[in-house]
Amino acid sequence: MRDIDTVLLNFSPGSLNLLNAILAIVMFSIALDLRPADFRALIRAPRPLVTGLVSQFVVLPVATFLFILAVQPRPSIALGLILVAACPGGNISNFITHRARGNTALSVSMTAIATCAAILMTPFNIGLWGSLYPPTRQILRETAIDPVMVAVTVFLMLVLPLCLGILVNARKPGLAGRIRRPLQALSMLIFIAFIVLALAANWSFFLSYAGAVAMLVIAHNALALGGGFMAATLAGVSAYDRRAITIETGIQNSGLGLILIFAFFNGLGGMAVVAAFWGIWHAVSGLALASVMARRDVAP
């Protein structure tokens, strides 16, 4: 079996462009739920929002780095974990927070603001934590990742459609109301189908190496959820807000992670399998956690 650190996945430039477009549509559909008033309310009471962003961009990357030091995974797997931790919250976190009876407005706002902050924070965290671990530092040197190009990719795929969705909701609320649910459902179905097809094209590789990352991803995801819960608890936010922060920290935008891996790391095997498995597992763990949380109502 070939070394996972040297295997490159089969993924054409056309497929990458299609994935970019799908992710942009997903973000646009999510933004149709946002209004400027949502942000003004959080500015008046910013503690939950600030806690969520600190959990997302500080607590999770630090915890990931300590986790990597403890378990010493293969370099490409380690960098995959770092990259996933550097991404903003995933686009299903809002749905899962709603299922958990948590603060959905806070979840949507955290996703939006973290997505904008990712222009700077995602390349910063990849570069910082990847360079502090010698095996991943070597991969970064060989790929010469360009932080500016990462920021441009994040802007085009996430921030621009997010702003357009907010604008449509503010200027054309009737139109936003009609297309919101169908577009969200359609875009998520297309996104899932695309990931399935991409895995099918590399199925033998995925089967060969998924076992090498499965337990690491499961443990990493549990660490992310636990880190979000602890950060929210220490900040003293309400249980209603704590549910949103916990889920937002544990649901990462693995779609963006895959785009960055194929665009800047040539589809490096260990990284791609980590991001792909994260994309599957965080939905399973998030929905399971939401079902447990939903059994007990908390006051808004």
Q: Is the dihedral of CA 206, 209, 214, 217 positive or negative?
A: negative
Contact 278, 219 (CB under 8 A): no
* Tokens at 152, concatenated: 């441009």
Query: Does position 63 have pLDDT exceeding 80, yes or no?
Result: yes
Mean pLDDT for 103-110 is: 84
Closest CA to 85 of 109, 63, 107, 111: 63
Instruction: Write down the pLDDT at residue 195.
Output: 67
Instruction: Write down the pLDDT at residue 217.
Output: 93
Mean pLDDT score of the chain: 84
Closest CA to 237 of 227, 247, 245, 248: 245
Domain coordinates in residue numbering, the chain: 13-293
Mean pLDDT for 18-26 is: 77
Closest CA to 237 of 108, 53, 3: 53
Of 8-22, 74-88, 231-245, 283-297, least confident by mean pLDDT is: 8-22
Give the architecture-level CATH label for domain 13-293: Up-down Bundle (1.20)
Contact 234, 225 (CB under 8 A): no
Instruction: Write down the pLDDT at residue 1.
Output: 42
Query: Does position 71 have pLDDT exceeding 90, yes or no?
Result: yes
Residues 6+ positions from 115 with CB-CB distance below 8 Å: 27, 88, 89, 154, 158, 159, 162, 253
Instruction: Write down the pLDDT at residue 255.
Output: 80
